[in-house]
Amino acid sequence: MPLQDIQTRIAKAEADAGRDPGSVKLIAVSKVQPSDRVEAVLEQGHRIFGENRVQEAAGKWPDFKDRFQGIELHLIGPLQTNKARQAMGLCDAIHSVDRPKLANSLARLAQETGSCPDLFIQVNTGEEEQKAGILPSDADEFVELCRGLDLPIRGLMCIPPVEEEPALHFALLRKIAERNGLEGLSMGMSSDFETAIALGANHVRVGSAIFGERVKPQE
């Protein structure tokens, strides 16, 4: 689906929810997409992209950043502490802060370098064993810990379980954000971003609906 159609759908979802036009940021998720598809979206003027691996992002974005001004890169996948420095140098936002060890590493690096990307805490709203993210019951304490480390926590992120109604998870994420005074809500993907916007998302992460099905499966 062309980028423009997605933007139109976002604008409609904003209006339907009584939200301000432009209050939802579209993160075009370009992981494993061929460069020509990514370039086509850059050519159309879009500048906000998401990758879920540091390695892959480091391989393709420095070159695009040289050629296109104003690119904003969001890391939306799991981050190992040994890649934290590289991620911080490359990304404008990290949506996957999910454990104290990583929070500590990011805080140390932020101190050392004097800067830090915008951070989102990933919450495992479905309490799925195989999925990253802090459990809902541990979220308040983890937000507190991150704030104690002076990390710029902007909001929360979730990936609902595939088999479940995403609205329940979006509503839970919003509730946790509200009681912690956090404004950022990174939620909603290709199949459910309109639902997420209705429930307050201000960052939607849309991949296949923009770029087409991912060509290579991800591992």
Ligand X SMILES: *Cc1c(COP(=O)(O)O)cnc(C)c1O
Q: Is 26 in the site for ligand X (CB under 6 A)?
A: no
Element (H, E) at 178: helix 166-179
Q: Where are the beta strands (DSSP E) in 44-114?
A: 48-51, 72-75, 93-97
Residue 7 lies near ligand X (rule: CB under 6 A): no
- Kindly tell me which residue out of 189, 196, 197, 199 binds ligand X, with binding defined by CB under 6 A: 189
Out of 99, 169, 174, 205, which residue is the one contacting ligand X (CB under 6 A)?
Answer: 205
52 binds ligand X (CB under 6 A): yes
46 lies in the binding site for ligand X (CB under 6 A): no
Answer yes or no whether residue 174 interacts with ligand X by CB under 6 A: no
Calculate helix-pair angle for 139-148, 166-179, nearest 10 degrees. Answer: 40
Selection from 178, 143, 173 nearest residue 160 by Cα: 173
Q: Candidates 60-68, 164-172, 177-185, 206-214: pick the segment binding ligand X (CB under 6 A).
A: 206-214
Number of helical (H) and strand (E) elements in the chain, helices listed first = 9, 8
Rule CB under 6 A: choose which of 155, 184, 200, 207 binds ligand X: 207
31 contacts ligand X (rule: CB under 6 A): yes
Closer Cβ to ligand X, 38 or 69, answer by number = 38
Closest CA to 14 of 201, 210, 167: 201
Question: Tokens 């932020």 — which residue?
Answer: 110
Q: Closer to ligand X by CB, 143 or 209: give it.
A: 209
Q: How far is Cα 156 from Cα 167, in angstroms, rounded to an integer? A: 15
Nearest distance from residue 208's CB to ligand X, in Å?
3
How far is 97 from 79, CA to CA, in rounded Å?
Answer: 8
158 binds ligand X (CB under 6 A): no
Distance of CA 42 to the CA centre of its chain: 19
Task: Give 57 or 159: the residue with its C-beta nearer to ligand X.
Answer: 159
**What is the binding site for ligand X (CB under 6 A)?**
29, 31, 52, 76-77, 159, 189-190, 205-209
